[in-house]
Amino acid sequence: DTAVSQTPKYLVTQMGNDKSIKCEQNLGHDTMYWYKQDSKKFLKIMFSYNNKELIINETVPNRFSPKSPDKAHLNLHINSLELGDSAVYFCASSQDWVGSEAFFGQGTRLTVV
Amino acid sequence: SQQGEEDPQALSIQEGENATMNCSYKTSINNLQWYRQNSGRGLVHLILIRSNEREKHSGRLRVTLDTSKKSSSLLITASRAADTASYFCATDAEDSSYKLIFGSGTRLLVRP
């Protein structure tokens, strides 16, 4: 069983569209994250959730809205997609705070055309 | 601002050789972690070292931490072609325990 799974793996869409990426973890972790990896492989935190509550919003545009219906899920909805949103988005989870190892999903490669 | 900087950016070695990657960070930390990312895949946790530890081993991996110099190194001994990947260090942020700050990564190529 995959510990952290995100769907879809690839997403190609036109500018202006709205899209969602889903993430689920079956590890029983309390904390979940969304990271963005740009073309230079630089990873940047976007959001952190702990027990379904938003802890970190790292100055991400309002077009990005995370939703955590329960501890095991953290979905990412993006409105009005822009070319600059093209990147690989990773979901991750950890038992609690960053003092424990994080488990990453396989990533969603988003291409906005 | 980015917490960790890795050095070198890219490293190419022959199978069997040792690979050393360095990471520097800017602020005080509680722990430092190393991750591996194979091409097109997610990150995999390798090792976590706490601020009160100086050295840690896991199989062919050896990690050191020097908090006075705000630096860490990852040594992979007897490298294999399968070690080819990008390696990232990550630290907890000074202002929050709920985010990992990643370095820029070292791309390691192990030639068979």
Contact call for residues B13 and B110 (beta carbons, < 8 A): yes
Distance CA B78, CA A25 (A): 34
How many other C-beta atoms can be found within 10 angstroms of the C-beta atom of residue A46?
19
Please determine, for residue B2, whether its predicted confidence score (pLDDT) is greater than 60.
Answer: no
Distance in Å from the first CA to the final CA of chain A? 34
pLDDT score for B7: 85
pLDDT score for B3: 59
**Cα distance from A77 to chain B (closest Cα, Å)?**
20
Structure tokens at A55: 């802890």
Contact call for residues B112 and B17 (beta carbons, < 8 A): no
- Give residue-wise pLDDT tens across range B3-23: 567 889 999 999 999 999 999
Q: How many percent of chain A have pLDDT more than 90?
A: 79
Residue A57's pLDDT band, with cuts at 50, 70 and 90, is confident
Contact call for residues A93 and A100 (beta carbons, < 8 A): no
Number of residues assigned to chain A: 113
The residue of chain B with its CA nearest to that of A40 is B104
- Give residue-wise pLDDT tens across range B30-75: 889 999 999 989 999 999 999 999 999 999 999 999 999 999 999 9
Which of B42, B86, B96 lies nearest to residue A105, judging by beta carbons?
B42
Residue B1's pLDDT band, with cuts at 50, 70 and 90, is very low
